[in-house]
Amino acid sequence: MEVKAKKYLGQHFLADEKVARAIAETLPTGTGMRVLEVGPGMGVLTKYLCELHGSRLMAVEVDAESVDYLRQNLPDVNVVFGDFLKLDINQYFGNENFMVIGNYPYNISSQIFFRVLEMRDRIPVCSGMIQKEVAERIAAKPGCKTYGITSVLLQAFYDIEYLMTVHENVFNPPPKVKSAVIRMTRNGVQSLGCDEALFIRIVKTAFNQRRKTMRNSLRPMLTEAMMNADIFNRRPETLTVSEFVELTNMISEC
């Protein structure tokens, strides 16, 4: 029995054993920490994760057909039928920290990473495969055209590594785009030292008008006294995370 990939779920099943093993090895071993795999599909990645992490592995899958397949073919793996974006993490992990990995559905990969960001104090490492274009955005540095909202918000709390590019022919069915494997490792930042809700609002406002200078995109938030500060002459893709924090504090104090 094979599971038919469902377009509405964004399923592209990884079929290359070598790539699957390489992805599984992106998570550290020997930590004793539990592992959550998102979207295991037919389990090509799951079986290598099981080899490396044993009973500490749990897989969550939204496709009932895939769940049945996994339970029949990988009976030692705890497979949960559910949606990671809505999953009650405490029900399965209590107060434990855990690592996240997956061959993520391309249509919701950004939502998955923002869910990880919400739980950042419990997820020290997150890795996996996503669309190459999204991976480049997440890993982009200031000054790059691809540097944007996801770059700043994720890099504020995680160190990002772009590990490898993956050709579309390793999937069944093959997607129309190339893929990439990234790893996010929690940095030492516990607090940004600013109003984080305002920080997010400023980052989103600036990049939603990325061709404008910060002065023009943020004008409704600024006082006349702030208008001449050099930082407001720049465009958002040139600002580092720490400069966005500095800017947030300038605005919140006015």
Give 3-state DSSP helix, strand, coil % of the chain, rounded to 5: 45, 20, 35
pLDDT at residue 10 greater than cutoff 70 = no
pLDDT at residue 197 greater than cutoff 80 = yes
CA distance 21 to 166: 13
Point out the least confidently predicted range of 1-10, 152-161, 174-183: 1-10
pLDDT at residue 7 greater than cutoff 80 = no
Residue at token pair 């339970």: 71
pLDDT in tens, 121-132: 999 999 999 999
Among 109, 19, 4, 105, smallest CA distance to 61 is for 105
pLDDT at residue 199 greater than cutoff 70 = yes
Is the preceding peptide bond at 173 cis, omega within 30 degrees of 0? Answer: yes
The residues facing 117 across adjacent strands are none
Q: Using an 8 Å Cβ cutoff, are 161 and 139 in contact?
A: yes
Query: For residue 54, what are the CA distances in angstroms to 112, 131, 185?
Result: 24, 28, 22
Beta strand pairing status for 78-81 and 13-14? unpaired
So what's the pLDDT on residue 9?
65
Cα 40 to chain centroid, rounded: 16
pLDDT in tens, 36-88: 999 999 899 999 999 999 999 999 999 999 999 999 999 999 999 999 999 99
So what's the pLDDT on residue 136?
97
DSSP letter, residue 22: H
pLDDT in tens, 85-100: 999 999 999 999 999 9
